[in-house]
Amino acid sequence: MRDRLWNGLKDIEETHLNGCLEQGVSNILNVSFNYVEGESLIMALKDLAVSSGSACTSASLEPSYVLRALGMSDELAHSSIRFSLGRFTTEEEIDYTIDLVKRSIGRLRDLSPLWDMFKQGVDISTIEWSHH
């Protein structure tokens, strides 16, 4: 079921698998959706029991040190979601999840000026943000 979920999500633009499917736990999928704040996505996925980051830092607002150890930027770590599947999870539930995630990411990115800049080809890492 985890692989079915990944196969349904991986074609979303700027989506990254965190970890390795072959060596990972078979019922957990950790994915980052660039230009989407993980906490915002969790709120949009209110029908699902998902969490941000890794289990090691689920109570913290700091980026996961596990994801950082994998070489991930703070921004990408903050955009990660952990899906934990139960042994009774059905294909229909996975398909519902895929559809809900795709729609939610679309809505959140529609609100994101960073997503607009990325789509226009702006290298966001070169932007100097003012300090107030």
DSSP conformational letter for 4: H
DSSP reduced 3-state for 106: helix
- Supply 47's token pair: 């029908």
The active-site residue out of 56, 111, 122, 124 is: 56
Task: Let me know if 44 is exposed, middle or buried by CB neighbors in 10 A (0-12, 13-18, 19+).
Answer: middle
Per the annotation, the verdict on 20 as an active-site residue is no
Q: Which residues are catalytic?
A: 56
